[in-house]
Amino acid sequence: MSSTRTRLAVGVAFVALVAASQASASAFYLQEQSVRGAGRAYSGEVADKGVGSLWWNPAAIAGIARSEAYFGLNAIQVDSKATSTGSTITRPVPPAGLTTPVGGANTAFDPINDGIVPNLGGAWKLNDKLSLGLSVAAPYNFTTEYNPDSWTRYDALKSQLRTVNVDGVVAYRVNDMLDLGVGVTAMYADAELTNALPNISPLQPDGAQSLKGDGWAYGYTVGAQLHPTKSLTIGASYRSKIDHKLDGTVKVSGLLAPIPAANNFTVDGQAKITLPWIANLGARWAVNDQWTLNGSISRVGWSEFDAIRVAFAGGGSTSAQDYKDITTYAAGVDYQASPRLTLRAGVQYDPTPTPDVGRTARVPDGDRMMYATGATWAATENLKLDAALSYIAFDKSQINRTDVTATSSTVRLRGDVEGSAVVLAAGARFSF
């Protein structure tokens, strides 16, 4: 392989790293940032008060009666299956190439890993109008793993992304009708990717490729809450896009003759991507002393993810993407069953922004419906305990991806993916 081909391989490798990090968008974005909100499928969070809604609206802590702290844990259990429907590989064997089935295990069971998602926050009341807040969340976290002999191996073996998002917030109560908030965002991302590389002969064992990258990026969030009456709150917020630069390392090994030995290498590089902006609009209406209705609409600007731009010593590459903006809808209800017990329920529709052609096995995504229920128990005057249970049903989706590998083989992956998830959440809110 020539020096140019080697550079191309590195560019493709970094494109794969970043695409793996963001390929699933909404299904990849974890909403589990409020246990209280989980109980009503996150409907109305942008219009609720207190530190438990800080991720959704920086104005949520304006005018709080006392300082507050929040901690939550979300246990996510996923049931998934990915089945090949005729995947092939064409190796560059003269004169016209050699096309064979990809081979290996035709079904991958539970490639999407279970996980625990923590989040926490604090709000400090300075006076009746001004409050400061801090939110620590993990909004983009995901791991998929396939066995070494899986039919997906040339596209995906392990795909992992870990993020930590920190918001520092200032909130101000203008008057009894209007609250405002603004925050500065710092997000750390750490990604790892592995996949197999086909050698020229189908009789040779596969080579391997591993990638790692990380980096910090920054943005902002703004929000407002309007209280036209004592029973109605309307909330709106905007979370800015995040321009990430991931510095990383690509390692290729196990490539055999006739591929030159020099094409087993380790090289540094940088990939640039943009995470989407998120706009939220919602309302909470206290119909009476017991019932409160919640509703929200969120617009996610995934069209910002227009391209992946890669730079490395001696060259670079740009890979166009085809993501689309999406709109999610949620509705829910709170019921004050007793002075100490609040019950909740909600439903949410969340479509996928990923294209039907080009969907990868790394994070196979589909439209989803969430059905949720939850409760809050006021254990003491200063302590509230939250719990929620959610069921997420994913529409059946198709893996439909064609790639030319770094060894000049063309892999055509075709497969069906189905799955569902259960999320069990528990949290506590303290006032002091």
In this prediction the pTM is 0.88
What is the pLDDT confidence band of residue 200, given thresholds at 50, 70 and 90? very high
Whose CA is closest to 343, among 334, 352, 356?
Answer: 334
Range 262-272 average pLDDT? 84
Q: What are phi and psi of 366, to 5 degrees?
A: -150, 165
Q: What's the mean pLDDT when you consider all of the chain?
A: 89
Q: So what's the pLDDT on residue 293?
A: 98
pLDDT of 5 reads 41
pLDDT of residue 317: 60
pLDDT in tens, 298-355: 999 988 877 667 676 666 666 656 778 999 999 999 999 999 999 999 999 999 887 7
The 10s digit of each residue's pLDDT in 32-41 is: 999 999 999 9
Question: Alpha-carbon distance 41 to 299, whole Å?
Answer: 16
| DSSP-derived secondary structure for 13-59 | HHHHHHHHHHTTHHHHB---S-HHHHTTTTTTGGG--SGGGTTT-GG
Which region, left, alpha or beta, applies to residue 50 given φ > 0 means left and ψ of -120 to 50 means alpha?
A: left
212, β-bridge pairs? 192, 249
Q: Give yes or no for residue 70 having a pLDDT over 60.
A: yes
Spatial CB neighbours of 126, under 8 Å, sequence gap ≥ 6: 132
**Residue 260 pLDDT exceeds 80:** yes
Mean pLDDT confidence for 249-266: 90
Share of the chain above pLDDT 70, in %: 91
Report whether 362 contacts 18 (CB < 8 A).
no
